[in-house]
Chain A
Amino acid sequence: MRTREELERISMSLEEYELARSYLGREPNDLELGMIAVMWSEHCGYKHSKKILKLFPTSGENVLQGPGENAGIIRLDEELALAMKMESHNHPSAIEPYQGAATGVGGIVRDILAMGARPVALLDSLRFGTLDNPRTRYLFSGVVSGISGYGNCIGVPTIGGELAFEKPYTENPLVNVTCLGLLKGKPKSGKAEGTGNSLILVGASTGRDGIHGATFASLELTSSSIERRPAVQAGDPFMEKLLIEAVLEALEKSDAIIGVQDMGAAGITSSSVEMANRGGVGVEIEVTKVPQREKGMTPEEIMLSESQERMLLCVERGKEEGLRPIFEKWGLNFAIIGQVIPEKMVRIKENGNIVGEIPVDILTEMVPAYDLETKIPENLNRLQTVDSIPEIEDYGDVLLRLLNSPNCSTSKWVYEQYDHMVETNTVSIGTGASIIRVKGKKFLIGVTTDGEGRYCYLDPYIGGIMIVAESARNLICIGAEPLAITDGLNFGNPEDPEVAWYFVETVKGMSECARKLNIPVVGGNVSFYNESENYTVYPTPIVGMVGKIENLETLCTPQFKDEGDVIYILGEPGNLGGTLFIEELTGEAKGKPEIDLELEVKLQRLLLKAIREKLIKSAQDISRGGLAIALAECSIWGNMGIDISIESEKSPEEVLFGEAQPVVIITTDANRERYVEEYFKEVPIRKVGRVIKDRFKIKFNRNSIVDLEISLLKNKWNSGIERWMI
């Protein structure tokens, strides 16, 4: 029997321990219990989310690999496929921001590599508290440096992402990293197969770092969490770069590699177990064969270490030595640490003696899956009611204030620290969805990550719909047809029924929208327990979405182009529920966000067609900050102004700062007006004015309410983050 304290140390409940014991039919030894604990942790076992995640649509004509592997894969054309995956590294980043974020990058890159794909792009979705807090600034700059330090060194460009600063993330920053990879031919699988075939550990040596990182990530953060800093791994990007090149070279030169698996959370344990499970076989590991960088490591430490920059290969017996020179050339370990066995068992040996033995099923299929107990939050009604809208004296001032908010302003301070150009494929970043080309191909790839915790906090179902819709709309606006989603779901403690309710409703909303827009979810990540003594994070789903642009000619950009171009608004701007406007001015997220999903489907279809027919000169969707912010961005990016006049029965603040979706701003040549109006007649369309030089002028019901210099907008937009950071 184990004491409660012993179990607490490995984040296991007494009930789970009893269950494990009954499955095993005996008392597990320390090594076995440690392995069960990590595989049953939320982080590895998805025990609170498994059932709900089944709601996502996961199939589609272009899906080559859905959820369940190291990454999802979609077909780009007859020859090429794209691997994509998002992963969080929230807990480590809260404790040790530089290494936490850096190893987050490293882990997701190896997931892509495991599919046999060359990593070609990274994107980061980041959430922090507000920048007036010095610790937030420390976490923010640490995370950005970590991503920069690691991503730049491995030569994978960081081409986008998104960022928000809100109080609920003060103690639990969110770091969700997305990686894309390109591959030719058949994707690899993370499986072990064929009795007698070898398991080979390649890459770095194994140390005592990151032991029980996976169980640590399955706990709430407390004041004592800082003591668990040793559970945070340390990254070596140089080693990772060598690993990328060596693995890709090995895959290209040899057909002896049966399976490739990243070694991330729970180290050798989870990678060998997952490989065995996918192949329907067992594995035997000899721990003394594992290259170690510390002396006297126990089998448990070796099996649970989360040392970075390691991968596990399954290689045909007898062909191992053909691969060795490739890894040695790159200066990497190449160690045969075990073999495939027919019985579905994970057997751990030390100097030939069995020190642990667990059926694979206990560590995989039999991981407990819990039904979530849900409860609608008591304060939901109060949250959804906007009781007072601040009195506005000067709309121009409010616009400038929002533009200067780190939540709207440019994130240049961040992305200029990232090498976003290496690999020479980056066509566009910093304005809406990012675009990369594929050498030798006509088509381009658009990619975006989006998330808005505020919406989900106020209405998770609607919020879930909006996040997916907005991602797709961002792609449509550049002329890309959405292909697939990878997601990162960040929530508090799922054992809290209110958190569980938020989780379930969010996933329902996301699934509904993904189905309506016909975009499959090919993989993702769940991160629970993002809460601490004072805060629970907003329920924060992040959507990473990729799309395909037919060719350079049908690429559309958001900025205003030429004087005299006509500005149209598609959709109905309005609704202050859940807006940044309310949060900035009242200090509280309030109201009910709103989206018309039927209109969304119609609008996206029409807009993509119009862009492909080159009918319009720019397209920009409205999101955080509303119409006024979106118009300001198009002006700033194009270095042009606007002269528009809006007639509405709504209030000016609703129209200017409301975030109802879908709303899109488009421009067209003056001589195409009639054609464009006819083209979009199925959706609400209104002509509001023209592109001019220098000034930003808005009339509302014939009264001038905003009249500003573009240079002033630019200053505010440029300094939102920089004014806080050195």
Chain B
Amino acid sequence: MGVDRRMNFGIVVFPGSNCDRDCYYVIKEILNQPVRFIWHQETDLNGIDCVILPGGFSYGDYLRAGAIARFSPVMSEVKEFADRGGLIVGICNGFQILTEAGLLPGALGRNKGLKFICRYVSLRVERNDTPFTTEYRRGDIIRMPIAHNEGNYYIDNPDKIRNQVVLRYYGENPNGAIDDIAGIVNERGNVFGLMPHPERCSEKILGSEDGLKIFKSIVRAL
């Protein structure tokens, strides 16, 4: 990792976000990159290179996961940020918010087993030419934890986004997601949503470092 690279991360905090501090820790303590929290009512993304919408239960997931968070004041700025080509990562609840906000196609429904699932799953890296995955090789099988109730990705015509799939469940599909989709980018390739939690597997002590490469890729993308 180049020592000079300084990627300014901003982590949006919605009421009910609960992986915000976990992402912060990885970026600050493991990668030594500048990072700040952005309260959902802020509208200033100045100086930010990469916005992270963290996991959790924004607004308690009431109504529908991510459905209320998309109306937060910060989200219109996030949309403009995306239009300008800024990098955005939505993890878990963040992915749900990105689909609700229309920044990513498709929707996330309830897991096929109708239960919350928290465990490690295997994933296949389908694309390593996105700013979020350059540290992997295409076809890599990696392990990351999932922790969600609504990870059952659905889209009417999966063929339409075939080239946008970045991560697929490998071996077992835990939630019924169509085409085993675990993570996608938008057409432009600057907005990335994924159900697995890379911040939970970025340190050896936690059992895996497979997720760290996502953050490293982002830093490299600068």
Contact = CB atoms under 8 A, between A and B. Distances in A.
Contact of B22 (A239, A329, A424, A552): A424
22 contacts: A148-B116, A149-B116, A155-B18, A155-B19, A155-B57, A237-B57, A238-B16, A238-B61, A241-B57, A242-B15, A415-B118, A416-B117, A418-B116, A420-B118, A421-B145, A421-B200, A424-B22, A424-B25, A424-B200, A427-B206, A439-B29, A552-B205
Given A417-B117, A427-B205, 9 more contacts: A152-B57, A241-B60, A416-B119, A420-B118, A422-B200, A424-B199, A427-B207, A439-B29, A726-B113
Interface residues of B, number: 33
B206 A331 contact: no
A401 interface: no
Contacts of B143: none
Interface string B61-82: 1100000000000000000000
A437 B15 contact: no
Contacts of A726: 113
Nearest to A417: B116
Contacts of A420: 118
Given A153-B60, A238-B57, A419 B147 contact: yes
B180 to A, nearest CB: 19
A242 B16 contact: yes
A371 interface: no
B127 interface: no
A330 interface: yes
A427 B203 CA distance: 10
Contacts of A154: 18
Interface string A239-276: 10110000000000000000000000000000000000
A448 interface: no
B183 interface: no
A27 B113 CA distance: 58
B118 A241 contact: no
Contact of B115 (A239, A417, A552): A417
A236 interface: yes
Interface residues of A, number: 32
Nearest to A412: B119
B94 interface: no
Nearest to B13: A245
A416 B111 CA distance: 13
Interface string B14-36: 01101101100110010000000
The 8 closest A-B pairs by CB, nearest first: A155-B18, A238-B60, A153-B57, A424-B22, A419-B147, A419-B118, A417-B116, A421-B200
A23 to B, nearest CB: 45
Given A152-B116, A427-B206, A422 B22 contact: yes
Interface of B: 15-16, 18-19, 21-22, 25-26, 29, 39, 55-57, 59-62, 113, 115-119, 145, 147, 149, 197, 199-200, 203, 205-207
B118 A417 contact: yes
Given A148-B116, A416-B118, A422 B18 contact: yes
A33 to B, nearest CB: 38
A426 interface: yes
Contacts of A552: 205
A423 interface: yes
Interface in A140-155: 145, 148-149, 152-155
Interface in A420-441: 420-424, 426-427, 437, 439
Contacts of B207: 427
Contact of A330 (B15, B56, B62, B118): B15
Contact of A421 (B16, B25, B197): B197
Interface in A111-168: 145, 148-149, 152-155
Contacts of B147: 152, 419, 421-422
B16 A153 contact: yes
Contacts of A152: 57, 116, 118, 147, 149
B13 to A, nearest CB: 9
A237 B61 CA distance: 10
A241 B145 contact: no
Contacts of A419: 116, 118, 147
A152 B117 CA distance: 11
Nearest to B41: A329
Contacts of A149: 116
Nearest to A444: B205
Contacts of B16: 153, 238, 241-242
Contacts of A153: 16, 18, 57, 60-61
The residue among A145, A152, A331 with the most chain B CB atoms within 10 A of its own CB is: A152
Nearest to B56: A155
A281 to B, nearest CB: 35
A241 B29 CA distance: 25
B3 to A, nearest CB: 22
